[in-house]
Amino acid sequence: MNQRTGSIVHVVCGLAVAGAVACKREPTSTPATSGEVAAVTAGETPAGSGEAPASAGETPVDASAGGDSQGATTGAEPATTTGAEPVATTGPTTTTTGTTGTVDAPPTGDGKAAPSGPEPLPAPLHAKVDEKCGKDPGVGTPAVPFTLKTPEGKELSMASLRGKVVLLNFWGTWCKPCLKELPEFDRLVRHYRKNGVVLVAVATDTEPEGVLEFGKSRKIAAKFALGGEDLAKKYDSPNFPFSFVVDDKGTIRGSYRGYKPECLGKIEQDLRASLEARKR
């Protein structure tokens, strides 16, 4: 059921292009049963400073009242003379040395260790990659800018995601294939979260209750946004769900129209390729 105020729609789900499962909405006079989301989701299985200390053992030199300096060397026997001829002195000499051993200096001037490199990518979750997937309209174009409200009332924008690799998903609580797909996306994105991948789930719903209920019940680690129907129309995709892999510069690297479980391997490959490109 579409959550738009004053609008009641009938959801028709079936096979879309290339065998993908998708939903689209048609007007109807019969309202959908309340609690539909819970009924659909129940029982489903989701796929300091850098100053170095003084060397130990160093002895300072004091100036005498008469202007003469007394060396730091200790333990030397005083020289004695016989008559006018000087006598050579062979007393012991103390050598002042610093701390022995090897001291590793910090590589940075502020005493902090140099930052480690990018987090290495984990092993892929999916061994099978269908190269026919991910080539729907939109590949190579910039993702459409947006600023939408989250269920908590904050703002989420495409610009705020720059620098991240984004799995951008358009869905609705009225869409049964969407409710199956998001948990699968959640598992995939959690696998690469330390590497900088974010799941952004843009719902057509305008009310937060259903979105929050679904996200909480399935423990979806996503950035949710509300009221995305107008944004979805800009991608000219009448069927839901549809998704894009967007690189750290905001360019679409993979386009997926409809629910296609067989394409999860290709989605993962697109995410990994975008992460690798970000390192260079």
Cα radius of gyration (the chain): 35
d(CA 219, CA 186): 9
22 pLDDT band, cuts 50/70/90, is: confident
pLDDT of residue 119: 83
Predicted confidence (pLDDT) per residue in 160-189, tens digit: 999 999 999 999 999 999 999 999 999 999
**Alpha-carbon separation of residue 123 from 82, 126, 136, 187 (angstroms):** 87, 9, 27, 14
pLDDT of residue 185: 98
DSSP for 26-64, please give it: EE-SSPPPTTHHHHHHTT-------PPPPPTT----PBP
pLDDT of residue 57: 43
d(CA 56, CA 6): 81
Please state the rounded mean pLDDT for residues 43-51.
44
DSSP for 248-259, please give it: TTSBEEEEEESB
pLDDT of residue 220: 96
pLDDT of residue 24: 72
pLDDT of residue 113: 54
Q: Which two tokens stand for residue 55?
A: 């060397």
Predicted confidence (pLDDT) per residue in 113-151, tens digit: 555 567 899 999 999 999 999 999 999 999 999 999 999
pLDDT of residue 165: 98
d(CA 130, CA 73): 80
**Alpha-carbon separation of residue 260 from 15, 24, 101, 136, 166 (angstroms):** 10, 16, 62, 12, 18
Counting every residue, how long is the chain?
A: 280
Please state the rounded mean pLDDT for residues 242-252.
97
pLDDT of residue 280: 74
pLDDT of residue 12: 59
Q: Is the pLDDT of residue 95 over 70?
A: no
Q: Which of 90-99, 135-144, 201-210, 256-265 is least confident? A: 90-99
**Alpha-carbon separation of residue 170 from 21, 77, 94, 195, 237 (angstroms):** 14, 91, 80, 23, 10
Predicted confidence (pLDDT) per residue in 4-18, tens digit: 444 445 555 665 545
CATH number of 9-30+126-279: 3.40.605.10, 3.30.1510.10, 3.40.30.10, 3.40.50.880? 3.40.30.10
Of all residues in the chain, the percent with pLDDT exceeding 90 is 55
Asked if 134 contacts 245 with a C-beta cutoff of 8 angstroms, the reply is yes
Considering only CA atoms, which of 274, 252, 266, 47 is closest in space to residue 169?
A: 252
Neighbouring C-beta atoms of residue 243, cutoff 10 Å: 30
111 pLDDT band, cuts 50/70/90, is: low
Please indicate whether residue 180 or residue 102 has the higher confidence score (pLDDT).
Answer: 180
Considering only CA atoms, which of 205, 256, 235 is closest in space to residue 22?
A: 256
pLDDT of residue 14: 61
What's this model's pTM, rounded to 2 decimal places?
0.65
Helix axes 208-218, 176-191, angle to 10 degrees: 50
Cβ-count burial of 61 within 10 angstroms (0-12 exposed, 13-18 middle, 19+ buried)? exposed
Cβ neighbours for 107, distance < 8 A, ≥ 6 positions apart: 113, 114
pLDDT of residue 227: 97
pLDDT of residue 115: 52
